[in-house]
Amino acid sequence: MRYLFILNDYFPLKNASGACVEMVIDVLLKHNHDVHILCALDDDMDIDKEGLLIHTVKTTNNQNVKGSNLKSLDVGLIKRLSLYISYLFNYPIQFPRDAKRYCDRAIALIKEYSIDIVVGVINPIETTVVLPRLKSIFNRLPLIVYELDSIGDLDNRNGGIRKLLNYKRRIIEKRLYNSADRIIYMKCHEKYFASKRFDTIRSKLSVSDFPMYNPKNEYSFNYISSDTICFIFSGSLYKTIREPQAVIEILKGVSKQLKITCSFFSKGSYEDYLKEEEKNTKGIIKRKGFVESRIIEKEYDQADILISIGNLMPNMVPSKLYAYMSYGKPIIHFSFIYNDPCNEILQNYPLALILSVDDSISINANRICSFIKGLESNNNHVIPDDLFPLNRPEYTEKLFTYE
Protein backbone atom coordinates (compact mmCIF):
# COMPACT_ATOMS: atom_id res chain seq x y z
CA MET A 1 0.00 0.00 0.00
CA ARG A 2 1.09 3.57 -0.67
CA TYR A 3 0.35 5.94 2.21
CA LEU A 4 0.38 9.73 2.36
CA PHE A 5 0.55 11.24 5.86
CA ILE A 6 -0.35 14.93 6.18
CA LEU A 7 1.01 16.64 9.30
CA ASN A 8 2.89 19.73 10.44
CA ASP A 9 6.36 19.52 12.01
CA TYR A 10 8.25 16.41 10.93
CA PHE A 11 11.45 17.44 9.16
CA PRO A 12 14.09 18.26 10.26
CA LEU A 13 12.63 18.46 13.82
CA LYS A 14 9.54 16.55 14.91
CA ASN A 15 6.94 17.82 17.34
CA ALA A 16 4.96 15.40 19.55
CA SER A 17 2.59 14.46 16.71
CA GLY A 18 5.51 13.88 14.39
CA ALA A 19 7.19 11.59 16.93
CA CYS A 20 3.99 9.51 17.21
CA VAL A 21 3.64 9.26 13.44
CA GLU A 22 7.29 8.22 13.10
CA MET A 23 6.73 5.24 15.40
CA VAL A 24 3.84 3.98 13.26
CA ILE A 25 5.64 4.67 9.99
CA ASP A 26 8.60 2.55 11.11
CA VAL A 27 6.22 -0.43 11.43
CA LEU A 28 4.59 0.29 8.06
CA LEU A 29 8.01 0.39 6.38
CA LYS A 30 8.99 -2.92 8.01
CA HIS A 31 5.85 -4.40 6.45
CA ASN A 32 6.99 -3.17 3.01
CA HIS A 33 4.47 -0.36 2.59
CA ASP A 34 5.46 2.80 0.72
CA VAL A 35 5.11 5.90 2.88
CA HIS A 36 5.06 9.56 1.90
CA ILE A 37 5.06 12.47 4.35
CA LEU A 38 3.63 15.91 3.56
CA CYS A 39 4.76 18.35 6.25
CA ALA A 40 5.37 22.05 6.85
CA LEU A 41 8.69 23.78 6.25
CA ASP A 42 9.91 27.11 4.92
CA ASP A 43 10.08 25.89 1.32
CA ASP A 44 8.70 23.20 -1.00
CA MET A 45 11.11 20.26 -1.17
CA ASP A 46 11.22 16.52 -1.84
CA ILE A 47 13.57 14.43 0.31
CA ASP A 48 14.28 10.69 0.23
CA LYS A 49 15.28 9.71 3.77
CA GLU A 50 16.20 6.04 3.87
CA GLY A 51 13.19 4.97 1.84
CA LEU A 52 10.79 7.46 3.45
CA LEU A 53 9.72 10.12 0.96
CA ILE A 54 9.28 13.50 2.66
CA HIS A 55 7.54 16.31 0.80
CA THR A 56 7.40 19.76 2.36
CA VAL A 57 5.04 22.66 1.85
CA LYS A 58 5.82 26.29 2.57
CA THR A 59 3.46 27.62 5.23
CA THR A 60 2.90 30.85 7.09
CA ASN A 61 3.26 28.98 10.40
CA ASN A 62 6.87 28.31 9.53
CA GLN A 63 7.61 31.98 8.91
CA ASN A 64 8.06 32.94 12.57
CA VAL A 65 4.34 32.74 13.34
CA LYS A 66 3.44 30.34 16.12
CA GLY A 67 -0.09 28.98 15.88
CA SER A 68 -2.66 31.57 16.85
CA ASN A 69 -0.24 33.66 18.92
CA LEU A 70 -0.77 36.83 16.92
CA LYS A 71 0.73 38.87 19.74
CA SER A 72 4.15 37.60 18.68
CA LEU A 73 3.94 39.34 15.32
CA ASP A 74 5.93 42.53 14.88
CA VAL A 75 3.27 44.48 12.98
CA GLY A 76 1.38 47.72 13.40
CA LEU A 77 -1.98 48.15 15.10
CA ILE A 78 -4.07 48.17 11.90
CA LYS A 79 -2.33 45.07 10.55
CA ARG A 80 -2.72 43.29 13.89
CA LEU A 81 -6.44 44.19 13.99
CA SER A 82 -6.96 42.84 10.47
CA LEU A 83 -5.23 39.61 11.47
CA TYR A 84 -7.51 39.24 14.51
CA ILE A 85 -10.59 39.78 12.34
CA SER A 86 -9.30 37.22 9.84
CA TYR A 87 -8.55 34.82 12.70
CA LEU A 88 -12.10 35.05 14.09
CA PHE A 89 -13.65 34.74 10.62
CA ASN A 90 -11.60 31.69 9.57
CA TYR A 91 -11.23 30.03 12.99
CA PRO A 92 -9.91 27.44 13.67
CA ILE A 93 -7.96 27.91 10.43
CA GLN A 94 -5.66 30.83 11.02
CA PHE A 95 -4.08 30.98 7.57
CA PRO A 96 -6.42 29.76 4.77
CA ARG A 97 -3.58 30.01 2.26
CA ASP A 98 -1.73 27.30 4.20
CA ALA A 99 -4.70 24.96 3.82
CA LYS A 100 -4.76 25.63 0.06
CA ARG A 101 -1.02 24.95 -0.21
CA TYR A 102 -1.39 21.68 1.67
CA CYS A 103 -4.32 20.73 -0.52
CA ASP A 104 -2.64 21.58 -3.84
CA ARG A 105 0.49 19.66 -2.85
CA ALA A 106 -1.52 16.66 -1.63
CA ILE A 107 -3.51 16.48 -4.89
CA ALA A 108 -0.29 16.51 -6.92
CA LEU A 109 1.30 13.78 -4.76
CA ILE A 110 -1.78 11.53 -4.91
CA LYS A 111 -1.73 11.70 -8.70
CA GLU A 112 2.04 11.36 -9.11
CA TYR A 113 2.52 8.42 -6.73
CA SER A 114 -0.88 6.71 -7.07
CA ILE A 115 -1.50 6.99 -3.32
CA ASP A 116 -3.80 4.30 -1.89
CA ILE A 117 -4.58 5.79 1.55
CA VAL A 118 -4.35 9.33 2.95
CA VAL A 119 -3.87 9.82 6.69
CA GLY A 120 -4.67 13.33 7.89
CA VAL A 121 -3.06 14.02 11.26
CA ILE A 122 -4.49 16.52 13.71
CA ASN A 123 -2.57 18.79 14.02
CA PRO A 124 -2.19 20.74 11.71
CA ILE A 125 -5.70 22.09 11.89
CA GLU A 126 -5.50 22.64 8.12
CA THR A 127 -6.18 18.91 7.78
CA THR A 128 -9.82 19.69 8.61
CA VAL A 129 -10.04 21.57 5.31
CA VAL A 130 -7.73 19.39 3.21
CA LEU A 131 -9.43 16.02 3.75
CA PRO A 132 -12.98 17.12 2.76
CA ARG A 133 -11.49 18.73 -0.35
CA LEU A 134 -9.60 15.53 -1.23
CA LYS A 135 -12.76 13.45 -0.78
CA SER A 136 -14.63 15.71 -3.22
CA ILE A 137 -11.94 15.01 -5.85
CA PHE A 138 -10.95 11.40 -5.07
CA ASN A 139 -14.23 10.03 -3.74
CA ARG A 140 -13.02 6.40 -3.66
CA LEU A 141 -9.72 7.17 -1.92
CA PRO A 142 -9.78 5.99 1.72
CA LEU A 143 -9.23 8.91 4.10
CA ILE A 144 -8.18 8.36 7.72
CA VAL A 145 -8.35 11.05 10.39
CA TYR A 146 -5.60 10.42 12.95
CA GLU A 147 -6.67 12.70 15.79
CA LEU A 148 -3.64 12.91 18.08
CA ASP A 149 -4.89 16.32 19.21
CA SER A 150 -8.61 16.76 19.65
CA ILE A 151 -10.52 19.17 17.45
CA GLY A 152 -13.53 19.60 19.70
CA ASP A 153 -12.62 18.24 23.14
CA LEU A 154 -10.83 21.37 24.28
CA ASP A 155 -12.09 24.36 26.24
CA ASN A 156 -15.75 23.80 27.17
CA ARG A 157 -16.31 27.23 28.66
CA ASN A 158 -19.35 28.85 27.06
CA GLY A 159 -18.87 32.52 27.82
CA GLY A 160 -18.59 35.27 25.22
CA ILE A 161 -16.33 34.72 22.24
CA ARG A 162 -15.37 31.24 23.49
CA LYS A 163 -18.90 30.00 22.76
CA LEU A 164 -18.62 31.20 19.16
CA LEU A 165 -15.19 29.60 18.69
CA ASN A 166 -16.37 26.26 20.10
CA TYR A 167 -19.38 26.37 17.76
CA LYS A 168 -17.11 26.96 14.76
CA ARG A 169 -14.89 24.04 15.81
CA ARG A 170 -17.91 21.75 15.96
CA ILE A 171 -18.94 22.74 12.42
CA ILE A 172 -15.53 22.03 10.94
CA GLU A 173 -15.26 18.83 12.99
CA LYS A 174 -18.55 17.53 11.58
CA ARG A 175 -17.51 18.34 8.01
CA LEU A 176 -14.21 16.51 8.49
CA TYR A 177 -15.75 13.41 10.07
CA ASN A 178 -18.37 13.14 7.33
CA SER A 179 -15.62 13.05 4.70
CA ALA A 180 -13.49 10.47 6.53
CA ASP A 181 -13.65 6.70 6.13
CA ARG A 182 -12.04 6.05 9.49
CA ILE A 183 -11.45 8.24 12.55
CA ILE A 184 -8.79 7.20 15.05
CA TYR A 185 -8.93 9.09 18.35
CA MET A 186 -6.95 8.88 21.58
CA LYS A 187 -8.13 6.97 24.63
CA CYS A 188 -8.05 10.14 26.77
CA HIS A 189 -10.97 11.45 24.64
CA GLU A 190 -13.21 8.38 25.00
CA LYS A 191 -15.73 10.27 27.13
CA TYR A 192 -16.04 12.97 24.47
CA PHE A 193 -16.70 10.46 21.68
CA ALA A 194 -19.25 8.58 23.81
CA SER A 195 -21.67 11.45 23.10
CA LYS A 196 -24.84 10.54 21.20
CA ARG A 197 -24.06 13.14 18.57
CA PHE A 198 -21.40 10.75 17.20
CA ASP A 199 -23.85 7.85 16.85
CA THR A 200 -24.28 8.45 13.12
CA ILE A 201 -20.55 7.92 12.52
CA ARG A 202 -19.96 5.32 15.25
CA SER A 203 -18.90 2.69 12.71
CA LYS A 204 -16.05 4.94 11.58
CA LEU A 205 -14.59 5.43 15.06
CA SER A 206 -11.58 3.52 16.39
CA VAL A 207 -9.88 4.16 19.70
CA SER A 208 -6.13 4.01 19.99
CA ASP A 209 -3.55 5.69 22.16
CA PHE A 210 -0.23 7.44 21.68
CA PRO A 211 1.99 4.82 19.95
CA MET A 212 5.10 5.74 21.90
CA TYR A 213 5.58 2.68 24.10
CA ASN A 214 8.27 0.65 22.38
CA PRO A 215 10.43 -1.06 25.05
CA LYS A 216 14.07 -1.10 24.04
CA ASN A 217 14.75 -4.56 25.42
CA GLU A 218 14.02 -6.89 28.32
CA TYR A 219 15.69 -5.08 31.15
CA SER A 220 15.91 -4.60 34.86
CA PHE A 221 16.85 -1.27 36.34
CA ASN A 222 20.48 -0.56 37.19
CA TYR A 223 21.08 2.51 39.28
CA ILE A 224 23.21 5.61 38.84
CA SER A 225 26.97 5.19 38.77
CA SER A 226 27.85 8.91 38.61
CA ASP A 227 28.21 11.21 41.63
CA THR A 228 25.85 13.71 39.98
CA ILE A 229 22.30 12.54 39.39
CA CYS A 230 21.17 13.55 35.90
CA PHE A 231 17.49 14.52 35.46
CA ILE A 232 16.06 15.21 31.99
CA PHE A 233 12.84 16.82 30.79
CA SER A 234 11.88 16.72 27.13
CA GLY A 235 8.86 18.40 25.55
CA SER A 236 7.06 21.67 24.97
CA LEU A 237 6.34 24.22 27.69
CA TYR A 238 3.51 26.67 27.11
CA LYS A 239 1.52 28.93 29.40
CA THR A 240 -1.86 27.48 30.41
CA ILE A 241 -0.82 24.04 29.06
CA ARG A 242 2.41 22.90 30.74
CA GLU A 243 4.48 25.16 33.02
CA PRO A 244 7.88 24.51 34.65
CA GLN A 245 8.20 27.03 37.50
CA ALA A 246 6.91 24.87 40.36
CA VAL A 247 9.00 21.93 39.16
CA ILE A 248 12.18 23.98 39.11
CA GLU A 249 11.58 25.27 42.63
CA ILE A 250 11.22 21.69 43.89
CA LEU A 251 14.39 20.63 42.06
CA LYS A 252 16.22 23.49 43.73
CA GLY A 253 15.09 22.02 47.02
CA VAL A 254 16.44 18.61 46.01
CA SER A 255 19.78 20.17 45.07
CA LYS A 256 20.26 21.21 48.70
CA GLN A 257 20.38 17.54 49.67
CA LEU A 258 21.79 15.77 46.58
CA LYS A 259 24.14 16.68 43.76
CA ILE A 260 21.92 16.94 40.69
CA THR A 261 21.49 18.56 37.30
CA CYS A 262 18.29 18.84 35.29
CA SER A 263 18.46 19.45 31.54
CA PHE A 264 15.40 20.88 29.76
CA PHE A 265 15.22 19.86 26.09
CA SER A 266 12.25 22.06 25.35
CA LYS A 267 10.56 24.71 23.26
CA GLY A 268 7.74 27.15 23.87
CA SER A 269 7.02 30.08 26.17
CA TYR A 270 9.69 29.51 28.81
CA GLU A 271 13.03 29.45 27.03
CA ASP A 272 14.08 32.86 28.41
CA TYR A 273 12.96 31.80 31.88
CA LEU A 274 15.03 28.60 31.65
CA LYS A 275 18.04 30.56 30.48
CA GLU A 276 17.72 32.83 33.51
CA GLU A 277 17.33 29.83 35.86
CA GLU A 278 20.43 28.23 34.34
CA LYS A 279 22.32 31.35 35.36
CA ASN A 280 20.69 31.63 38.80
CA THR A 281 21.32 27.98 39.71
CA LYS A 282 24.87 27.96 38.30
CA GLY A 283 24.09 25.15 35.90
CA ILE A 284 21.91 22.94 38.08
CA ILE A 285 19.11 23.81 35.67
CA LYS A 286 20.33 23.51 32.08
CA ARG A 287 18.49 24.92 29.07
CA LYS A 288 19.24 22.70 26.09
CA GLY A 289 16.57 23.79 23.60
CA PHE A 290 14.61 21.60 21.19
CA VAL A 291 16.71 18.93 19.47
CA GLU A 292 16.15 16.20 16.90
CA SER A 293 14.95 12.78 17.99
CA ARG A 294 18.24 10.89 17.62
CA ILE A 295 19.92 13.30 20.04
CA ILE A 296 17.21 13.16 22.71
CA GLU A 297 17.08 9.36 22.46
CA LYS A 298 20.77 9.25 23.31
CA GLU A 299 20.13 11.61 26.23
CA TYR A 300 17.37 9.30 27.53
CA ASP A 301 19.82 6.42 27.51
CA GLN A 302 22.36 8.38 29.54
CA ALA A 303 19.90 9.99 31.98
CA ASP A 304 19.35 8.72 35.51
CA ILE A 305 15.80 10.04 36.04
CA LEU A 306 13.23 11.40 33.57
CA ILE A 307 11.01 14.34 34.52
CA SER A 308 7.36 14.44 33.47
CA ILE A 309 5.35 17.66 33.82
CA GLY A 310 1.59 17.20 33.80
CA ASN A 311 -0.77 19.24 31.67
CA LEU A 312 -3.14 21.82 33.10
CA MET A 313 -6.08 20.30 31.19
CA PRO A 314 -7.70 17.09 32.47
CA ASN A 315 -8.26 15.52 29.04
CA MET A 316 -4.66 15.75 27.83
CA VAL A 317 -1.86 13.20 28.28
CA PRO A 318 1.69 14.02 27.14
CA SER A 319 2.60 11.38 24.53
CA LYS A 320 6.18 11.71 25.76
CA LEU A 321 5.19 9.80 28.90
CA TYR A 322 5.06 6.51 27.00
CA ALA A 323 8.39 7.21 25.32
CA TYR A 324 9.88 7.72 28.78
CA MET A 325 8.61 4.36 30.00
CA SER A 326 10.10 2.64 26.94
CA TYR A 327 13.56 3.31 28.37
CA GLY A 328 12.88 1.61 31.70
CA LYS A 329 14.17 4.62 33.63
CA PRO A 330 12.77 6.06 36.87
CA ILE A 331 10.18 8.77 36.19
CA ILE A 332 9.17 11.61 38.49
CA HIS A 333 5.83 13.06 37.48
CA PHE A 334 4.65 16.48 38.69
CA SER A 335 0.88 16.69 38.75
CA PHE A 336 -0.82 20.10 38.53
CA ILE A 337 -4.48 19.12 38.62
CA TYR A 338 -6.59 16.89 40.83
CA ASN A 339 -7.76 14.54 38.08
CA ASP A 340 -4.47 14.29 36.18
CA PRO A 341 -4.88 11.31 33.77
CA CYS A 342 -1.13 10.64 33.92
CA ASN A 343 -1.43 9.45 37.51
CA GLU A 344 -3.48 6.38 36.62
CA ILE A 345 -1.13 5.49 33.78
CA LEU A 346 2.00 5.74 35.94
CA GLN A 347 0.51 3.59 38.68
CA ASN A 348 1.15 0.65 36.35
CA TYR A 349 4.83 1.52 35.98
CA PRO A 350 7.02 0.27 38.87
CA LEU A 351 9.61 3.05 38.68
CA ALA A 352 7.37 6.10 38.98
CA LEU A 353 7.03 8.75 41.66
CA ILE A 354 3.91 10.93 41.39
CA LEU A 355 4.00 14.31 43.13
CA SER A 356 1.42 17.05 43.49
CA VAL A 357 2.77 20.58 43.14
CA ASP A 358 0.12 21.65 45.66
CA ASP A 359 2.30 20.10 48.38
CA SER A 360 5.12 22.21 49.78
CA ILE A 361 8.52 22.44 48.13
CA SER A 362 10.24 20.84 51.14
CA ILE A 363 7.80 17.91 51.28
CA ASN A 364 8.20 17.15 47.57
CA ALA A 365 11.98 17.58 47.71
CA ASN A 366 12.16 15.09 50.59
CA ARG A 367 9.96 12.64 48.69
CA ILE A 368 12.30 12.78 45.70
CA CYS A 369 15.35 12.19 47.89
CA SER A 370 13.64 9.22 49.57
CA PHE A 371 12.63 7.86 46.16
CA ILE A 372 16.24 8.01 44.97
CA LYS A 373 17.54 6.34 48.12
CA GLY A 374 14.97 3.58 47.63
CA LEU A 375 16.24 3.03 44.10
CA GLU A 376 19.79 2.77 45.41
CA SER A 377 18.85 0.09 47.93
CA ASN A 378 16.77 -1.97 45.50
CA ASN A 379 17.94 -2.12 41.90
CA ASN A 380 16.10 -5.28 40.91
CA HIS A 381 12.95 -3.63 39.58
CA VAL A 382 11.73 -5.51 36.51
CA ILE A 383 9.54 -3.80 33.91
CA PRO A 384 6.67 -6.10 32.84
CA ASP A 385 6.71 -6.86 29.13
CA ASP A 386 2.92 -6.69 28.69
CA LEU A 387 2.34 -3.05 29.63
CA PHE A 388 0.23 -0.66 27.54
CA PRO A 389 -0.87 -2.76 24.53
CA LEU A 390 -2.76 0.19 22.97
CA ASN A 391 0.44 2.23 23.04
CA ARG A 392 2.46 -0.19 20.96
CA PRO A 393 3.09 1.16 17.44
CA GLU A 394 1.96 -2.19 16.01
CA TYR A 395 -1.54 -1.67 17.43
CA THR A 396 -2.07 1.64 15.63
CA GLU A 397 -0.45 0.35 12.45
CA LYS A 398 -3.20 -2.28 12.18
CA LEU A 399 -5.83 0.49 12.29
CA PHE A 400 -4.21 2.07 9.23
CA THR A 401 -4.37 -1.14 7.22
CA TYR A 402 -7.04 -1.70 4.58
CA GLU A 403 -7.17 -5.19 3.11
Looking at residue 281, which CATH number applies to its domain?
3.40.50.2000
**Residues 66 and 113 grouped into a single domain:** yes
Residue 264: per-residue pLDDT:
97
What number is the average pLDDT over the span 134-150? 95
**Residues 47 and 193 grouped into a single domain:** yes
Helices (H) then strands (E): counts for the chain: 13, 14
Within a domain: 127: yes
**Residue 173 near residue 128, CB atoms below 8 Å:** yes
What number is the average pLDDT over the span 121-149? 93
Longest dimension (CA), the chain: 64
Q: Is the pLDDT of residue 110 over 90?
A: yes
- Enter the pTM of the model: 0.84
**Residues 188 and 277 grouped into a single domain:** no
Within a domain: 387: no
Q: How confident is the model at residue 77 (pLDDT cuts 50, 70, 90)?
A: confident
**Residue 214 near residue 276, CB atoms below 8 Å:** no
- Please write the tens of the pLDDT for every residue from 343-382: 999 998 989 999 999 999 999 999 999 999 888 766 666 6
Q: Is the pLDDT of residue 63 over 80?
A: no
| Rounded Cα distance, 236 and 242, in Å | 8
Ranking 247-251, 261-265, 369-373 by mean pLDDT, the lowest is 369-373
Q: How confident is the model at residue 30 (pLDDT cuts 50, 70, 90)?
A: very high
**Residues 41 and 123 grouped into a single domain:** yes
**Residues 335 and 204 grouped into a single domain:** no
What number is the average pLDDT over the span 181-206? 94
- Please write the tens of the pLDDT for every residue from 280-319: 999 999 999 988 888 998 999 889 999 999 998 877 788 8
Q: Considering its fold, how many domains does the chain have in total?
A: 2
DSSP 266-315: EEETTHHHHHHHHHHTTTSEEE-----HHHHHHHHHH-SEEEEE--SSTT
Within a domain: 269: yes
Q: Compute CA distances 74 → 43, 70, 71, 180, 268, whole Å.
A: 22, 9, 8, 38, 18
Q: Give the percent of the chain with pLDDT over 90.
A: 59
- Residue 195 burial (CB count, 10 A): 10
Q: Is the pLDDT of residue 114 over 60?
A: yes
Within a domain: 223: no
**Residues 132 and 242 grouped into a single domain:** no
Within a domain: 145: yes
Within a domain: 235: yes
Which carries the bigger pLDDT value, residue 76 or residue 174? 174
| Rounded Cα distance, 156 and 174, in Å | 17
DSSP-assigned beta bridge partners for residue 206? 184
Count CA within 13 A, CB hemisphere, residue 307: 28
Residue 216: per-residue pLDDT:
74
Residue 64: per-residue pLDDT:
40
Q: How confident is the model at residue 69 (pLDDT cuts 50, 70, 90)?
A: low
Q: How confident is the model at residue 219 (pLDDT cuts 50, 70, 90)?
A: very low
**Residues 309 and 235 grouped into a single domain:** yes
Judged on CB neighbours under 10 Å (0-12, 13-18, 19+), 339 is exposed
Q: Is the pLDDT of residue 74 over 60?
A: no
DSSP 59-103: -GGGTT--TT-GGGS---HHHHHHHHHHHHHHTT-S-HHHHHHHH
SS3 (DSSP) at 180? coil
Q: Is the pLDDT of residue 79 over 80?
A: no
- Please write the tens of the pLDDT for every residue from 147-192: 998 888 875 555 567 777 788 888 999 999 999 999 999 998 999 9
Within a domain: 383: no
**Residue 367 near residue 353, CB atoms below 8 Å:** yes
Q: Are strands 52-58 and 34-41 parallel, antiparallel or unpaired?
A: parallel
**Residues 207 and 241 grouped into a single domain:** no
Residue 56: per-residue pLDDT:
94
**Residues 257 and 133 grouped into a single domain:** no
**Residues 155 and 203 grouped into a single domain:** yes
What number is the average pLDDT over the span 139-150? 94
Q: Which amino acid is at 62?
A: N
Domain that holds residue 243: 229-377
| Rounded Cα distance, 333 and 352, in Å | 7
Which carries the bigger pLDDT value, residue 12 or residue 197? 197
**Residues 27 and 121 grouped into a single domain:** yes
Q: Is the pLDDT of residue 339 over 90?
A: no
Within a domain: 181: yes
Residue burial 120-130, b: 16+ Cβ < 10 Å; e: rest: bbbbbbbbbbb
DSSP-assigned beta bridge partners for residue 147? 122, 185
**Residues 175 and 247 grouped into a single domain:** no
